[in-house]
Chain A
Amino acid sequence: MSEVLIQLQGIGKYFNNNKVVSDVDLSIEDGQIITLIGPNGAGKTTLVKLVLGLLEPDEGRVMRHSNLCIGYMPQKLHIDPTLPITLGRFLALAEPNTKLCIDALKEVGIEKHIHSPLQSLSGGEMQRALLARAILRKPNFLVLDEPVQGVDVAGQEELYKLIGQLRTRLPCGVLMVSHDLHLVMSATDEVVCLNQHICCHGRPDQVSNNPAFIELFGSKTATYTHHHDHEHGLHGEVVHSNDSDSSGCQHG
Chain B
Amino acid sequence: MIATRAGANMVEVLLYALLAGLGVAVITGPLGAFIVWRRMAYFGDTLAHSSLLGVALALLLSISPTLSVIATCLVLALILVMLQQQKGLASDTLLGILSHTSLAVSLVAMALMPDIKVDLLSLLFGDLLTVTGKDVVIIYAISLFAILLLLKLWNPLLAITIHEELAKVEGIPVTAVRTAFMLIIALVIAIAMKVVGVLLITALLVIPAATARRFANTPEQMAIFASLIGCSAVIFGLSCSWYLDTPVGPSIVLSAGILFLLSLTKKYN
Contacts and interface: CB of A to CB of B under 8 A. Distances in A.
Interface in B35-49: 36-39
B218 A93 contact: no
Interface stretch (A83-91, A97-105, A239-247): A83-91
A83 B165 contact: no
Interface string B196-234: 000000000000011001001111011000000000000
B166 A84 contact: no
Contacts of A137: 170
A86 B37 CA distance: 15
Interface string B157-179: 01101110110111000000000
B168 A89 contact: no
Contacts of B213: 82, 84
B155 interface: yes
Interface of B: 36-39, 155, 158-159, 161-163, 165-166, 168-170, 209-210, 213, 216-219, 221-222, 269
Contacts, number: 60
Nearest to A118: B162
B165 A93 contact: no
A129 B39 CA distance: 24
A93 B159 contact: yes
B218 A89 contact: yes
Contacts of B161: 80, 83
Nearest to A79: B162
A6 B158 CA distance: 30
Contacts of A70: 169
Interface of A: 49, 52-54, 70, 72, 74, 77, 79-80, 82-86, 89-90, 93-94, 117, 133, 137, 143
8 contacts: A49-B165, A80-B36, A83-B222, A84-B217, A84-B219, A84-B221, A93-B158, A94-B159
Contacts of B216: 84
B37 A54 contact: no
B37 A80 contact: yes
B170 A82 contact: no
A71 to B, nearest CB: 8
A74 B165 contact: yes
Contacts of B166: 72, 74, 133
Nearest to A71: B169
Contact of B162 (A72, A93, A117): A93
Contacts of A117: 217
Contacts of A53: 169
Contacts of B269: 84
A82 B155 contact: no
Nearest to A83: B37
Contacts of B221: 84
B40 to A, nearest CB: 11
A41 to B, nearest CB: 18
A231 to B, nearest CB: 32
Q: Which 9 A-B pairs have the closest CB atoms?
A: A72-B169, A83-B37, A84-B216, A93-B159, A82-B36, A80-B37, A82-B213, A74-B166, A52-B169
A70 B166 CA distance: 10
Contacts of B168: 54
Contacts of A80: 36-39, 161
Given A80-B37, A80-B39, A85 B162 contact: yes
A93 B155 contact: yes
B170 A94 contact: yes
Nearest to A78: B163
B144 to A, nearest CB: 26
B165 A86 contact: no
B162 A89 contact: no
A85 B218 contact: yes
Contacts of A52: 165, 169
B37 to A, nearest CB: 5
Interface-central residue, A77, A84, A86, A94, by most chain B CB under 10 Å:
A84
A54 B166 CA distance: 10
Contacts of A79: 162
Given A84-B218, A94-B170, A74 B37 contact: no
Contacts of A83: 37, 161-162, 219, 222
B75 to A, nearest CB: 27
